[in-house]
Structure 1
Amino acid sequence: MSQRIGRKDADGVCTLTLDRAEKLNALDMAAFEALDAHLTALETDDAVGCVVLRGAGRAFCAGADLGDLDTPTERPPRFKPGVIERLARLPKPVIAAVHGVCFTGGLELALACDFILADATAKFADTHGKWGLVASWGMSQRLPRRIGLPAAKRMMMTSRIVEAAEAEGLGLVDLLAPAGGLDELVRTVAGELTANSGFTNTANKRLLIETDGMSLAQGLAHEHYRHPGRAPDWRERIDRFRRP
């Protein structure tokens, strides 16, 4: 596997680190192949209750590697958006931990995660228009669903940079830490997620994905039909709670 993305596991949390700091973690085909391989392993890894995606060096991700766009490949055209969709559907919660720039393809990567946590150094932008490109990794669908259509239009049609505080106000960032405080914030949220039942988190994520766009009546019927029952350790959890 390419070393574009490193993996480290601790206490039920898997941290995937984009490891191309000299290029601000720009995404080339090797990065997508590495992410695809990690996702394959994570889909069936019951020891992992939460995944954190972050970037090495000064940034989360500057976006697609523009020099890689015309590189010949045997991969089908849908490979890269397919990998991002696999990330979005990973059956466990995923945190994007953002510092520095999170631009364009990097933003599309973050939007596929369940939570975006950032520190005060974070900057967000969609610069497809600057290069005469059109997003194909989910920007036109995930960004307006997260921050609303008018704000998404402004970002997509102007390529303006959104600073961390504004991003939090828009709802693009779920939780914002001061500069240097991102690691502590990520540890806290990851700890809250892994303390919860992985069975429950997986079921909740699946139901939210499956019912997206349904009416309330359809969603309620789907929840009833697709209800997975109780976690294997539900009784143990309740017994621990009852102990003096």
Structure 2
Amino acid sequence: MDSHDPVQVTEPHPGVLLITLNRPHVRNAIDQALADAMGTALARLEDDPGLSVGILTGAGGHFCSGMDLKAFPTEGVPVVADRGLAGLTRARLRKPLIAAVEGAAVAGGFELALACDLITAADTAFFALPEVARGLVAAEGGAIRLPGRVPYHVAMEMLLTAAPLPAPDAARYGLVNQLTREGQALDAALALAGRVQAHSREAVHVTKQIVQDTRGLDDHTAYTVQDPLSTPVFDTTEATEGAHAFTQKRPPAWQR
């Protein structure tokens, strides 16, 4: 693989796709080339039946510094079709995606992390949405998602003053699933991916879809949306296998 590729894609473990943003000289800032490459990687995650979990990380000690402001005047916002920034922030991924954060996750970089399902972060990492300081708006999920992930006033301080949030504080607020020592966020993400893979793929995928499709709905409407998704799962061979494994006190033998 070319070390100059803006995104590097590997499979460190069976079923796990590792997507590494690879522009370390600019803290993995997103230009259109990186966005297009990441869109391709995410399509591979979704379309390959052998893959069950994705991990997103950055090269060179940083996660992502957001949109490449040098490229912005000529390229505009580096979106991919209707899937948002770098093909992720407005995408509807069926498979779980984990962000492994070292260093800076800033602006659009933080919005990429917010678009993931789980986050591991080094205790030296930090998150920020400094768009207002650049005359911009955190329009790829920052202003929408952050107030639902941390206390309202913390989110508003970040959004309105560009104040950074250190990873230990993010973990305290529940934004980060696992806090690690510096340099160990990816290892933690791989371990977390393994924990996800231990379970039924179909049950995991449908559970994620239910969460996505029912967010913000009242209970009655949410059940109306959920039931057509969840009911077929109870009639699958995996559901039967899960019940047999439980009664026989053994690990399930999922079909892969």
SS of aligned partner of 1:173? coil
Deviation (angstroms), 1:79:
5.2
Q: Secondary structure at the match of 2:171?
A: helix
Alpha-carbon distance in structure 2 between the residues aligned to 1:219 and 1:192: 27
2:43 is aligned to 40
- CA 1:20–1:77 in 2, change beyond 3 Å: closer, same or farther? closer
Q: Does 1:96 align with 2:99?
A: yes
1:18 has 2:21 as partner? yes
Partner of 2:254: none
SS of corresponding position for 1:51? strand
Indicate if the aligned counterparts of 1:32 and 1:80 stay in contact, CA closer than 8 A: no
- Aligned with residue 4 of structure 1, among 3, 6, 19: 6
- The answer for the alignment partner of 1:212 in structure 2 is 215
TM (norm. structure 2) is 0.86
Find the residue that maps to 1:229 and give its secondary structure. helix
Question: What is the CA distance between 1:183 and its match in structure 2?
Answer: 3.2
How many residues align structurally?
243
Question: Which segment is superposed worse, 222-231 or 56-65?
Answer: 222-231
- Written as runs of structure 1 = structure 2, the 5 A alignment for 1:32-181 is 32-72=35-75, 81=84, 83-87=87-91, 89-181=92-184
Tell me the secondary structure at the aligned position of residue 29 of structure 2.
coil
Shift of 1:132: 1.1
RMSD over aligned CA atoms reads 2.4
Task: Name the aligned partner's letter for residue 84 of structure 1.
Answer: L
In the alignment, which of 193, 201, 204 is matched to residue 201 of structure 1? 204
Letter in 2 for 1:59: H
CA deviation profile, 1:11-32 (whole Å, cap 9, x unmatched): 2111000011111101111111
| Percentage of matched positions with identical amino acids | 32
Tell me if structure 2 keeps the 8 A contact 1:81–1:136: no
SS of structure 2 residue aligned to 1:233: helix
For 2:183 and 2:73, the matched residues in 1 are separated by 37
**Structure-2 residue corresponding to 1:229:** 233
Report the Cα distance in structure 2 between the residues aligned to 1:72 and 1:229, rounded to whole angstroms. Answer: 44
Q: Take 2:114 and 2:29, find their aligned partners in 1: how far apart are those partners?
A: 16
Stretches of structure 1 that go unaligned for 5 or more consecutive residues are: none
Q: Could you tell me the TM-score, scaled by structure 1's length?
A: 0.90
Maintained 8 Å contact 1:81/1:138: no
Return the offset for 1:179. Answer: 2.1
Compare relative contact order (CA 8 Å, sep 6+) and give the higher one, 1 or 2: 1
Kept in 2, the 8 Å contact 1:84–1:137? The answer is: no
Q: 1:71 deviation in Å?
A: 1.4
| Unmatched 5+ stretches in structure 2 | 251-256
Q: Which amino acid aligns with 1:193?
A: V
Q: 1:223 offset after TM fit, Å?
A: 2.0
Deviation at 1:121, TM superposition (A): 1.6
Partner letter of residue 107 of structure 2? T
